[in-house]
Amino acid sequence: MVNLLDFDREGLASFFVELGEKPFRATQVMKWIHQQAVVDFDAYTNLSKALRQQLKEIAYVSQPQVQMSQTAQDGTRKWLLQLDSDNSIEMVLIPEEGRNTLCVSSQVGCALDCCFCATAQQGFNRNLSTAEIIAQLWLAEHILTQEGDQADNAKRAISNVVMMGMGEPLTNLNNVIKAMNVMMDDFAYGLSWRHITLSTTGIVPALARLKETCPVNIAISLHAPNDALRNKLVPINQKYPLAELMSACRAYAKGNPQRRITFEYIMLKDINDSPAHARALVKLLQGFPAKVNLIPFNPFPDTRYICSPRETIDHFRDILVQAKLLTVTRKTRGGDIDAACGQLAGKVRDRTQRQFKLFNKEIVNETI
C-alpha cells in the first residue's frame, strides 16, 4: 500500500502510468486530495469505477493524528502531531492580517545539536517522509477551511510556508523538495516560491542542489559573525565554515535580482550581542543582497542562555542599519505555548549517540 501524499505530480503520473493509466490522472487525483481534501476514493467521480476500486486495494491517503492543539494569547496556534508510538512533531500557525503562515517540520528532532535550540536538545530519530511533510499543510488547510478562518487576500487558508519547524531541511533534501513541489503545484496549493522559505544552518552541497531543483527563498541560521563563535553555537560550521557558506549563498542569489538571502541571528546575552559582534557581522555581509532577522532568544527548560536586553538588541540593530543592512527584529510569537522560534520539541525517541559528532558525513549527506 502506498500513501498518495508521498508523490509530487511527476511521481504520481509515473504511478498511474505503471497502472496502465494516462499521466493526466495525476492532476485529477491531486486536485481531489490537495484542493478538495477528499480522501475517499469512491468520491473521485471523474475516475472509472475500476480505477477507484484498484486505488482502494493498493493506495491510501493518511495524515498524522492531532494529539494536542494550543492557541497562544497572540493567536499563534500549535499542533502536536502523532506519527507513531515513539515520535511526534509540532507545526505552528502564525496568523497575521491578510495572511496565514505555517511553520512546517521536516524531521523528528534534529541531529545538528545547536545548543540554543529546544528541538536539537531532543535528539534525532528520523527524516519525515514527503507524505508527513505535506500532510502538515494538508491538515492545516483542512482545519482552517472547516473553521472558515482563511487569510483575507489568499485563495487558500495558508498563504505562506516556512520550513522552520523541527529538523534541518537540507539533510532531508529529497523528501523536502518533493513536498515543496507539491506546495507550488497549481493542481495542489499553488504557492509561489516567494511565499515559501526554507531555513537551514547551511549544508553547502545541498544549497547548490536546491537552487538547481527547487529555488525557494532561503534563511540561513547564522547566529555568529566568525568561525570561532559559530563553531560553538552551530556545530555544522566546523564542516562548512563561513567562507564556504557565504560563497554558497552568493551562488544561490546569483542570477535573480529579486532574491535576497535572509540571515537569522539569535540574540544571546553576553554571547554574540556586543557592538564588536555587530561590526563583524556588517563586515561579513557587506555588499551582499542580505536581510538580517534579529531573533530574541526564546527560553526553554534547562537552557543556560538568556535573551539579550531590548536596549542591547536595539543598539545591535542600529549598527547594522547604519551600515545600510536591511535589518528587522523579529516579533516573538507564541511564546506562552512554547511555539516561538527555537522552542519546538515534540516527542522524539533519540536514536543518536550524543558522545559522537552529529554532523558526521553519514547524517549530513544522507540525502544529498
The answer to whether residue 10 is catalytic is: no
Instruction: Give the Cα separation of 79 and 48 in Å (integer).
Output: 37
Nearest to 293 by CA among 253, 260, 271, 249: 260
Largest CA distance in the chain: 70
Marked catalytic residue, from 21, 90, 132, 141: 90
Q: Which of 134, 131, 4 is nearest to 58 (CA)?
A: 4
- The helix/strand/coil state of 136 is helix
In the chain, the DSSP E strands lie at: 2-3, 59-60, 65-71, 77-82, 88-96, 99-103, 107-109, 124-127, 160-163, 196-200, 217-221, 261-267, 290-296, 326-329
Half-sphere exposure of 297 (CA within 13 A, CB side): 25
Choosing from 110, 114, 307, 341, the catalytic residue is 341
Residue 188 makes CB contacts below 8 A (sequence gap 6+) with 9, 30, 31, 33, 34, 35, 182
Instruction: Count the Cβ atoms, other than its own, within 10 Å of residue 366.
Output: 13
Rounded Cα distance, 362 and 120, in Å: 18
- The answer to whether 90 is a known catalytic residue is yes
Core vs surface per residue 312-323: b (16+ CB within 10 A) or e = bbeebbebbeee
Q: Name the DSSP letter for residue 236.
A: G
Catalytic residue annotation: 90, 341
